[in-house]
Structures are given as C-alpha cells and as structure tokens.
C-alpha cells in the first residue's frame, strides 16, 4: 500500500473519530468452547484453533499453547503497526522480521512454588529491518510502532480484567 492510499483510507475514520469520539470505541471479542480433554477451541474468524497445555505442563504439543498465541499476537500487531507507520512516514522496508521471546517459570502455573510468578516475567520484542532509511528515521519508526501497537501497549499498561461465571 502506498502512503497516499493509507492516508485516504484512514482520513474519513480519523475525521469521524474526532467529531464523535464514541464511534472510536469498539469492543473486540473472542470465544472459546471447552472441548474434551484439556483443550479449548477458539474461533479466530479465519480458522478454528485448538489450544492446549504446553508440554512443560503436561501437554502433548499437538495443540497450540496460549502463551505462544500471546507472543504471536504481539508479533502480528507490531508487524502490522510497523508497516502502517512506515507507510505513513514514507519509509520503504525492503524486508524484515520480528521476534518475541518470553520467559515463563512453569513452577508458578503448576503450583509447585507459590512464590514463582504465573505468567511471563519478561518479554523481549526485536525487529530486524532492512531499509534505506537513516538511523533517525528508523528510531522514529520504532518509537511510533511501540506507541501505536495495541497489543504492546496493552501488555505494558495492563487493563482491568474481570472474570466471572455466567
């Protein structure tokens, strides 16, 4: 997509959101069905994904791990955001890759050690970008990608999450 095409695509949305902030508030949803065994089927909109236990917690490795899915969502969001920001800035990315690595201590998840955290203790997001843009432009690209990446910002400033039986 070209810079002008992206601006033309987003301009009416930005204008509407400026005029009526309520139209910018959207609720995204995900639904999963508890299935037999230790899996949960999640509809992604494109395919059905069966999530299960990570092998470090007794899973077979045949179902996807939700921790992996979280990192994949971060990579996907950061990649789309970087591409959009680069397009908006007029930066051409010849090629690139994004990697997210996260550290887990499964003693927490399995209840082996009550002091061990449940969840990721550290997540590292790295970008390997080939572009003819100068270092300052690439630094701005990274800064804006971080600023506008929904998943990254959600992880950095955790929202209130409630859980309930309905």
**How far is 1 from 155, CA to CA, in rounded Å?**
28
**How far is 78 from 81, CA to CA, in rounded Å?**
5
**How far is 120 from 155, CA to CA, in rounded Å?**
10
**How far is 2 from 55, CA to CA, in rounded Å?**
43
User: What is the reported pLDDT for 12?
Assistant: 94
CA distances from 26 to 21, 23, 50, 164 (A): 11, 8, 26, 21
Sign of CA dihedral 55, 60, 62, 64: negative
pLDDT tens digit at each of 166 positions of the chain: 889 999 999 999 999 999 999 999 988 878 878 777 777 888 887 888 899 999 999 999 899 999 999 999 999 999 999 999 999 999 999 999 999 999 999 999 999 999 999 999 999 999 999 999 999 999 999 999 999 999 999 999 999 999 999 9
Strands 32-34 and 93-104: unpaired
User: What is the reported pLDDT for 86?
Assistant: 95
What is the token pair recorded at 3?
């810079």
Domain ranges of the chain: 3-7+66-156
User: What is the reported pLDDT for 145?
Assistant: 97
Q: What CATH class has 3-7+66-156?
A: alpha beta
User: What is the reported pLDDT for 125?
Assistant: 95
- Number of H helices and number of E strands within the chain? 5, 6
């Amino acid at each position: 997509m070209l810079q002008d095409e992206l601006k033309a695509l987003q301009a009416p949305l930005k204008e509407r959101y400026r005029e009526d902030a309520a139209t910018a508030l959207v609720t995204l949803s995900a639904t999963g069905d508890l299935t037999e065994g230790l899996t949960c089927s999640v509809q992604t909109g494109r395919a059905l994904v069966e999530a299960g236990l990570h092998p470090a917690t007794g899973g077979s490795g045949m179902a996807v791990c939700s921790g992996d899915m979280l990192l994949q969502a971060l990579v996907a969001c950061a990649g789309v955001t970087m591409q959009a920001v680069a397009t908006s800035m007029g930066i051409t990315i010849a090629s690139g890759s994004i990697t997210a690595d996260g550290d887990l201590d499964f003693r927490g998840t399995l209840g082996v050690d009550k002091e061990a955290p449940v969840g990721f203790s550290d997540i590292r997001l790295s970008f390997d970008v080939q572009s003819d843009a100068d270092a300052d432009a690439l630094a701005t690209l990274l800064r804006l990608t971080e600023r506008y990446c929904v998943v990254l910002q959600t992880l950095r400033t955790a929202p209130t999450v409630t859980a309930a039986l309905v």
